[in-house]
Structure 1
Amino acid sequence: MRSSLPHFLFRLTALLALSACASAPKPPSFAGKPVTVYAAGDIADCRYRAPQDSGAAATAMLVAAGLAADPGAIALTLGDHTYPVGLPAEFNDCYHPTWGQFRERTLPVPGNHEYYTAGAPGYYAYFGARAAQEQGGYYSVQLGKWHVIGLNSALDGAGAEAQLAWLRNDLARHPARCTLAMLHHPRYSSGGHASNPAMAPLWQELAAGGVELLLSAHDHNYERFAPQDAAGRRDDALGMRQFVVGTGGAMLTPVRLDRPNSEVKDNSVHGVLRLDLFDTGYTWEFLPVASEASPPFTDRGASTCH
């Protein structure tokens, strides 16, 4: 494990120092100027459409507008950046013309489609140092007052065990009031892939470490869960809230289940999740591609860090 942040994270720190106030109203109880992030996974699929006509192009416009308005804002990508198998050509020919325009302001995590090509060479070559390949594809950074953890949910066996040990150590070394984690496979989901028991060890470690937010994708829909504890029981006081944001551009898929503690779910429109990360809490808003539905689905709210 490296003891210092890679160079690109220092560049992000410089960007954050320039950050302007977010345009969303600031809840009176929240302190400090927020760091704004735009998040989604399951993004670029050009098998049936040219890049400029793809769902990824439409969601990239939402992110690009937000980044242009705020020099400190960044994008969080939640895996399955390209389809079908994560080849370098898919990143260069489909992802790059859309979400690639803000690659230098992106924190990524890999999904299963990247690993459909053994070792995920397209993903690691495209994102370079920010993908943390030499550390198994997982890492952590500081965004304002928030500690942010990127995890590789495609690992198994010894790799998964090493990641879990690293995560336990990272949480112990960074006892922040507000922590956000992101990975591709959700622990809980009402979508077609359903909940993923293999994510239980990561979920339990994150919940025990006091993590506030967990962002995921994999199912091609949007879903927001109430805060839950390490065992998946609702806990509004100390629980971790999970979002599924698999709406980055790939074909949307049905919501087949009704998981306990699921508060909102939708598969009608592509879009991205905007989070304004204040010193003591956060606001969220799902930003839809307005042309896809009338009226377009959205979801917004706020919560304090526990």
Structure 2
Amino acid sequence: MTDNVRLRRFSADAPDAQGYQINRLHGKFPNQPFRSLPQPTGKPPYHVNLEEILPAQAVQDMIAARKMVFHTAGDTGGVKSPADQQLVIDHMENDFQVADPLERPAFFYHLGDVVYYYGEEDQYYSQFYEPNAHYSAPIFAIPGNHDGDLIDTSVPSLQAFVTNFCAREAQIAPSSGDAPRDTMTQPNVYWTLNTPFATFIGLYTNVPEGGALDATQINWFHNELTQAPTDKALIVAMHHPIFSADKHHSGSQYMEGILDDAMQATGRIPQLVLTAHVHNYQRFSRQYNNKLITYLVVGGGGYWNLHHMLDSIKNPPTPIDLPFPLPDRSDVSLNMFCDDRHGYLKMSITPDSIAGEYYTVPRPQESWSAPASLLDQFSISLT
């Protein structure tokens, strides 16, 4: 399946009142304040090397094969309908059944909103440890807005996230119950993952709608872009999306400004931007300074309520083909979307390319034994 195949059709004529707006400036609301960040648990510049987490032989085999496979998705917390989350995880687990161990995912990179609605410690067993009890690879994460939000202001923001993902040493967490999974040892709530074929710079975009970063994190981000190796893929991950053509959230002009300022200041342009927050799947491509950047929204990871696309895209009066150049953004095209199924992304990185496959899973009322369905397939050249 490629962008040249006619996958879904919609119109560029007569947009509805919502138009084609794919990002906007979000208002500030007192119930979504900026929350102070917890103290880092590791030393700056907050790096994790994959060989510190995986067995040394596994990393050496990956390097010899010149290929790394991983999962990514966000918004997994199954707070109201655990079946949606479990269906996604069960089908991700099926990817470990392939005969070739080098085709099995090395890790799951979570894009935030692990636990709804206020990042409570007592929700980690039901929304994280129990559903992932049989997922056989490490799970890295950046926090989402719900992980950092508070209903009990006597508890510091992100306290439970730090306990479970930023422990000073790996150990069984009190909330893990009978699930055999250790805590992760990420050094901060924003941090960089170094792997043989890609650098993942993970931002924490806080609680306010549209995201918010303080000066310390912005300066760190610029430095991480500057210092990132030039002979590997460069991936930026954040919870709030820069582009989204959905009805509920939309993308964030603020986060676009954060990234554009950093790219202009450092001269480094990521090949891929991973986001979530919007509960569906969308893939955009953007031409920036004669470079192609792929922006993904992978927020259909299990939260029960999926977010629908704009009417002007979902129900057009006159169809046209994807990829669709957005009329209000000549530099951005919408390549694919899915807003009626949960799903996850399986990605492969080599020295030459980043390849992605987005799979949708059955709904709970359908057969659980039905296989995941390949919806989207794309490749990003690194040469």
TM-score (norm 1): 0.81
**Paired positions, count:** 284
- For residues 87 and 9 of structure 1, the distance between their equivalents in structure 2, rounded to whole angstroms, comes to 31
Is 1:301 the counterpart of 2:354? The answer is: no
Contact 2:106–2:137 at 8 Å: present in 1 too?
no
From 106, 109, 120, the counterpart of 2:158: 120
Is 1:242 the counterpart of 2:308? The answer is: no
Is 1:271 the counterpart of 2:343? The answer is: yes
- For residues 245 and 74 of structure 1, the distance between their equivalents in structure 2, rounded to whole angstroms, comes to 16
- For residues 89 and 4 of structure 1, the distance between their equivalents in structure 2, rounded to whole angstroms, comes to 27
SS in 1 for 2:379: strand
Residue type of the partner of 1:185?
H
SS in 1 for 2:283: strand
Contact 2:353–2:382 at 8 Å: present in 1 too?
yes
Decide whether aligned partners of structure 1 residues 241 and 267 sit closer, same or farther in structure 2, where only a CA change above 3 A counts: same
Decide whether aligned partners of structure 1 residues 223 and 124 sit closer, same or farther in structure 2, where only a CA change above 3 A counts: same
Cα distance per residue 1:125-170 (max 9 Å; x no partner): 122344646x4x1111222221111111117899521111111111
Decide whether aligned partners of structure 1 residues 201 and 160 sit closer, same or farther in structure 2, where only a CA change above 3 A counts: farther
Contact 1:108–1:131 at 8 Å: present in 2 too?
no
- For residues 174 and 6 of structure 1, the distance between their equivalents in structure 2, rounded to whole angstroms, comes to 13
Cα distance per residue 1:270-292 (max 9 Å; x no partner): 11011101112111110111457
From 197, 212, 218, the counterpart of 1:164: 218
From 351, 361, 364, the counterpart of 1:289: 361
The runs of 5 or more residues in structure 2 that have no matched partner are 1-42, 151-155, 168-183, 314-325
Find the counterpart in structure 1 of residue 89 from structure 2.
60
Contact 1:76–1:108 at 8 Å: present in 2 too?
yes
- For residues 247 and 7 of structure 1, the distance between their equivalents in structure 2, rounded to whole angstroms, comes to 28
SS in 1 for 2:375: coil
Find the counterpart in structure 1 of residue 259 from structure 2.
203
In the TM superposition, residue 102 of structure 1 has moved relative to its aligned partner by 3.9
Is 1:225 the counterpart of 2:278? The answer is: no
Q: Which moved more, 1:286-295 or 1:54-63?
A: 286-295
SS in 1 for 2:291: coil
Decide whether aligned partners of structure 1 residues 20 and 83 sit closer, same or farther in structure 2, where only a CA change above 3 A counts: same
- For residues 159 and 302 of structure 1, the distance between their equivalents in structure 2, rounded to whole angstroms, comes to 31
- The structure that has the greater radius of gyration is 2
In the TM superposition, residue 6 of structure 1 has moved relative to its aligned partner by 5.1
- For residues 185 and 214 of structure 2, the distance between their equivalents in structure 1, rounded to whole angstroms, comes to 17
Find the counterpart in structure 1 of residue 112 from structure 2.
79
Contact 1:67–1:74 at 8 Å: present in 2 too?
no
The runs of 5 or more residues in structure 1 that have no matched partner are 22-31, 230-234
Cα distance per residue 1:186-238 (max 9 Å; x no partner): 11111220121221243212574121101100110100001342xxxxx6x51
Find the counterpart in structure 1 of residue 271 from structure 2.
212
- For residues 263 and 96 of structure 1, the distance between their equivalents in structure 2, rounded to whole angstroms, comes to 34
TM-score (norm 2): 0.66
- For residues 9 and 125 of structure 1, the distance between their equivalents in structure 2, rounded to whole angstroms, comes to 22
In the TM superposition, residue 19 of structure 1 has moved relative to its aligned partner by 3.8
Contact 1:221–1:245 at 8 Å: present in 2 too?
yes
Decide whether aligned partners of structure 1 residues 20 and 161 sit closer, same or farther in structure 2, where only a CA change above 3 A counts: closer
Q: CA RMSD in A?
A: 3.0
Higher RCO (Cα < 8 Å, 6 or more apart): 2
From 99, 116, 124, the counterpart of 2:132: 99
- For residues 140 and 6 of structure 1, the distance between their equivalents in structure 2, rounded to whole angstroms, comes to 6
Cα distance per residue 1:98-122 (max 9 Å; x no partner): 1354486112011000112251222
Residue type of the partner of 2:339?
N
